């Protein structure tokens, strides 16, 4: 599920990479190298620049729009059959929403 408020959706005490890896460990793989590769790929797919660097950053270092993209990357990393999103583009720039 992608919630409307991205700023409260990520844990402030864990890096972006740890949060994506946690999801991947539950749903796809237990191999850390593979999880890191998937995490970097997912961040790139949702438009996060420098995903290899961003994976080590904490949520407070990202903008609201980037938070939303990370949440979308986490959800898509699970390869869901159904995705429920409550206004997923609200936090994104107008130029990106289209």
Average of pLDDT values for 13-32? Answer: 94
CA-based R_g, the chain, Å: 12
Residue-wise pLDDT for 46-88, tens only, equals 999 999 999 999 999 998 889 989 999 999 999 999 888 777 6
Torsion of CA 94, 95, 96, 98, to 10 degrees: 80
Which residue ranges make up each domain of the chain?
Answer: 6-97
Q: Look at domain 6-97 and name its CATH class.
A: alpha beta
Task: Answer yes or no: is pLDDT of 96 > 70.
Answer: no
Among 17, 15, 59, 54, which residue's Cα sits nearest to residue 36? 17
Supply the pLDDT for residue 95.
55
């Amino acid at each position: 599920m992608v919630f409307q408020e991205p700023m409260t959706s990520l844990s402030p005490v864990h890096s972006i990479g740890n949060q994506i890896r946690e999801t991947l460990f539950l749903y796809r793989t237990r191999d850390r190298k593979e999880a890191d590769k998937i995490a970097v790929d997912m961040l790139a797919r949702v438009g996060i620049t420098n995903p290899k660097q961003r994976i080590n950053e904490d949520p407070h270092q990202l903008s609201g729009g980037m938070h939303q993209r990370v949440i979308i990357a986490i959800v898509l990393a699970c390869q869901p059959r159904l995705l429920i999103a409550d206004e997923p583009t609200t936090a994104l720039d107008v130029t990106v929403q289209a």
